[in-house]
Amino acid sequence: MNHGKQLRLFLPDGTPSGPRYYELVNWTGQAVVMPVSRIKELVTGKWQDFEKPGVYLVRGETEEGHGRLYIGESDNVAKRVQGHPASLGFEVTELLLFSSKDDNLTKSHVLWLESALIDLATNAKRTKLSNSTAPLAKALSKAEHATMLEFLEHLELVAQTAGFNYFTKARVRSAGPTPATQFFLHKVKQNLKAQAMQSDEGFVILAGSQASGKPTDTLAPSYAQQREELIEQGVMKLEPDGRYLFAVDALFSSPSAAASIVAGYHSPGPQSWVDQSGVSLKSLLEKEKLAVANDPS
């Protein structure tokens, strides 16, 4: 059973574009998101809470615009990340550092956390990792292992809230009481079939769905790039018949993005996706809008 969480956010500059400090009530961990342009501030004494053992995430893009993520650990995370903008092989944009407020994180703990985060990110397939392999972590005692599992759970929550949502697979169910509607897309000429569901995060194409083998020139460059990333991550796998198959559930920002990437050309989502009765998403949305307009309350 999920319970409410109280998360505190502190903006040292009073602006959302500067450093962002996070802490979760009743959690010993702490986190800071640092723009790459401000990375040197981490070793000036302003952020001594991160000049200690911890784990960190570094994200950015390749020159071609493909997203990248690197996960690391160190006895001094603030110092360790200083050399990364020039050494990771991609253009770093932002960093997220984690440490503990009670100084109880040891080298064994952060090695375990690093390995666990790499495994989670690899399985979630939300971005391409720059880590070559997951390091072997030392075995922890049963008590320490339980403590680190709880620490990891809170770390994931803070990371996701901070915009680093790389550790969980796309969720196809909403947290609320209303069941999610399943939608279908059928491109007869291409012999393509896909299934999707709406969720709290966006529009999720379900594993087993099909996609075209090659996009056309009408596909928007941003969607074409997203297709390439999904193929690179192993989310979309080439089949012997030349089409692609979704190996896992995949999250998209909108129904149109999902439909276009499946079809390989511009395909408006509201008209393309239909429910089990064959009613389009567009018609369902218009029906809901009309119901709200006619509601006397």
Same-domain pairing of 141 and 194: no
Mean pLDDT (whole number) for 232-260: 93
Task: Check pLDDT > 70 for residue 36.
Answer: yes
Distance CA 75, CA 64 (A): 33
Residue 25 lies in a domain: yes
Tokens in use for 113?
């956390």
Question: In degrees rounded to 5, what are phi and psi of residue 73?
Answer: -140, 160
Q: Among residues of the chain, what percentage have pLDDT more than 70?
A: 94
Residue among 252, 248, 183, 232 at smallest CA distance from 68: 232
pLDDT level of residue 41 (50, 70, 90 thresholds): very high
Question: Does residue 12 sit in the same domain as residue 152?
Answer: yes
Weakest mean pLDDT among 50-64, 155-169, 229-243, 283-297: 283-297
Determine how many CB atoms are found less than 10 A away from the CB of residue 146: 11
Grade residue 117 by pLDDT with cuts at 50, 70 and 90. very high
Q: pLDDT value at position 164?
A: 96
Q: Can you tell me the distance from the alpha carbon of 54 to that of 64, in angstroms, rounded to the nearest whole number?
A: 31
**Mean pLDDT for the chain overall:** 90
Same domain, 11 and 156: yes
Is 169 a domain residue?
Answer: no
Give the count of domains, the chain.
2
* pLDDT recorded at residue 138: 75
Whether residue 174 is predicted with pLDDT greater than 60 in this model: the reply is: no
pLDDT at 1 (0 to 100): 54
Q: What is the CB neighbour count within 10 angstroms for residue 256?
A: 21
CA angle 92, 95, 98 (to 5 degrees): 155
Q: Indicate if the pLDDT at residue 10 is higher than 70.
A: yes
Instruction: State mean pLDDT over 53-72.
Output: 93
Would you state the pLDDT for residue 23?
A: 96
Report the interhelical angle of 142-161 vs 107-124 (nearest 10°). Answer: 50
Confidence at residue 179, expressed as pLDDT on a 0 to 100 scale:
59
Q: Tens digit of pLDDT for each residue in 176-192?
A: 555 568 899 999 988 99
| CA 19 – CA 95 distance, rounded (Å) | 10
Calpha distance 151→29 (Å, rounded): 7
Average pLDDT, stretch 91-101? Answer: 96
Contact 205, 253 (CB under 8 A): no
Q: Do residue 63 and residue 155 come from a single domain?
A: yes
If you write DSSP's letter for every residue of 119-170 in order, what string do you get?
HHHHHHTSSEE--SSPPPPPP--HHHHHHHHHHHHHHHHHHHHTT---SSPP
- Indicate if 52 and 193 belong to the same structural domain: no
Q: What is the DSSP letter of 269?
A: H
Q: Would you give the DSSP letter of residue 262? A: H
In a domain, 282, yes or no: yes
Range of the domain at 283: 182-293
CB atoms within 10 A of CB 23: 18
Please give the model's pTM, rounded to 2 decimal places. Answer: 0.80
Confirm whether 74 is domain-assigned: yes
C-alpha–C-alpha distance, residues 216 and 225, integer Å? 13
Percent of the chain with pLDDT over 90: 74
The reply to whether 123 and 197 lie within a common domain is: no
Token pair listed for 223: 């969607």
For residue 279, is it within any domain?
yes
Q: In terms of Cα–Cα distance, which of 58, 25, 20 is closest to 41?
A: 20
- E strands, the chain, in order: 7-10, 20-24, 29-35, 54-61, 67-74, 91-100, 128-129, 182-187, 192-198, 203-205, 210-211, 236-238, 244-246, 250-252
Q: Look up residue 129 and give its amino acid.
A: L
78 within domain boundaries: yes
Residues 25 and 155 placed together within one structural domain of the fold: yes
pLDDT score for 206: 94
Residue 1 lies in a domain: no
- In this prediction, residue 284 carries a pLDDT of 87
